[in-house]
């Protein structure tokens, strides 16, 4: 068991869940919380999970990063609509060897954070999980839960591997993957389903139950795969789109995070989920017309929703 000190930024569906798993396994975890701080300080953190419910009555919770100790590993579970906050939230938590793992949606988050902190060791965390924060201090884990880590700029290979081992020890199915491939692999599911459940005010199962939208979802997946191919990710092809369709067919009816953001009138993660990947693909000469259209629809819907 490692003695790494973890900090978690964002106690939502992602940071709350993975942080709680690590803490339950005995790791030292410090949670930075904005909206849930008062609640978790008194009542702790509660996970309702398909793998078995558990609670952490006492956690290290903080309302400001200035009160927190520096960490060896920072797990970022912040919404990318608040990405700019990392410019002030991260510095108090960093020592020269800290690894920051961005468990966030979309394409381009590592590039932006790296531009703000050029010497920072960064990794991408890709969570394949259905979970949601249902109320302060409560995370509902519906299904799945694996995570893959892609090394973006961490030169300390031993640290990176220790983190992977810590995740596995905590009962999390964790593996290392190629960074760029992993980000685009996740986009194959995220780009169609997040936006379409908002645009059509529906859930994953309904989109797949109707022939017209089932075809559209598949076409959008193939646009993402085409973009990934154009950017040098050669491992993705139509068999992966078919696999994602099948996986979603077998899932419970699901509202992705963007649909929940819409429902609660929160800003939607349009920039990193759509604008950035669309721009990166276009720069490589690949156009995603259906996802460009979806982005434009979402920008309209987002403006009206606030």
| Residues binding its own copies (CB under 8 A) | 199-200, 202, 206-207, 210-213, 215-216, 219, 289-290, 292-297, 299-301, 303
- Between 7 and 222, whose beta carbon lies closer to its own copies? 222
List 21, 79, 133, 186, catalytic entry: 186
Length of the chain: 306
- Between 50 and 200, whose beta carbon lies closer to its own copies? 200
- The least distance separating its own copies from the CB of residue 263, rounded to whole angstroms, comes to 16
Q: Exposed (0-12), middle (13-18) or buried (19+): which is 42, by Cβ within 10 Å?
A: exposed
- The least distance separating its own copies from the CB of residue 205, rounded to whole angstroms, comes to 13
CA 208 – CA 221 distance, rounded (Å): 13
- Between 252 and 293, whose beta carbon lies closer to its own copies? 293
- The least distance separating its own copies from the CB of residue 299, rounded to whole angstroms, comes to 4
Q: Which helix (H) or strand (E) holds 21?
A: helix 15-24
79 is catalytic: no
- Between 209 and 247, whose beta carbon lies closer to its own copies? 209
- The least distance separating its own copies from the CB of residue 296, rounded to whole angstroms, comes to 4
Q: Exposed (0-12), middle (13-18) or buried (19+): which is 58, by Cβ within 10 Å?
A: exposed
Q: Exposed (0-12), middle (13-18) or buried (19+): which is 61, by Cβ within 10 Å?
A: buried
Tokens 């349009």 — which residue? 270
Catalytic residue numbers, as ranges: 186
């Amino acid at each position: 068991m490692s003695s790494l000190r973890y900090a978690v930024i964002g106690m939502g569906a992602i940071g709350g869940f993975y942080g709680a798993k690590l803490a339950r396994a005995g790791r030292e975890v410090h949670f930075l919380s904005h909206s849930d701080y008062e609640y978790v300080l008194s009542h702790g953190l509660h996970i309702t999970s398909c793998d078995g419910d558990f609670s952490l009555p006492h956690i290290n919770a903080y309302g400001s990063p200035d009160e927190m100790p520096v960490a060896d590993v920072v797990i970022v579970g912040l919404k990318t609509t608040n990405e700019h906050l990392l410019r002030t939230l991260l510095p108090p938590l960093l020592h020269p060897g800290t690894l920051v793992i961005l468990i966030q949606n979309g394409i381009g988050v590592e590039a932006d954070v790296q531009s703000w902190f050029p010497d920072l060791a960064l990794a991408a965390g890709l969570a394949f999980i259905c979970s949601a924060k249902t109320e302060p201090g409560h995370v509902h884990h519906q299904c799945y839960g694996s995570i893959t880590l892609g090394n973006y700029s961490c030169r300390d290979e031993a640290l990176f591997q220790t983190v992977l081992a810590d995740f596995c020890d905590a009962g999390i199915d964790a593996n290392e993957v190629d960074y760029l491939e992993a980000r685009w692999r996740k986009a194959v599911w995220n780009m169609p389903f997040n936006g379409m459940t908002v645009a059509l005010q529906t859930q994953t199962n309904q989109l797949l139950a109707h022939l017209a939208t089932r075809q559209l979802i598949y076409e959008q997946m193939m646009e993402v795969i085409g973009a990934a191919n154009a950017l040098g990710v050669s491992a993705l092809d139509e068999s992966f789109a078919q696999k994602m369709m099948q996986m979603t067919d077998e899932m419970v009816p699901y509202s992705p995070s963007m649909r929940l953001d819409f429902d609660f009138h929160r800003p939607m993660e349009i920039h990193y989920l759509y604008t950035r990947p669309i721009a990166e693909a276009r720069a490589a000469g690949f156009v995603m017309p259906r996802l460009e259209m979806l982005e434009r629809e979402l920008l309209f819907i987002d403006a009206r929703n606030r």
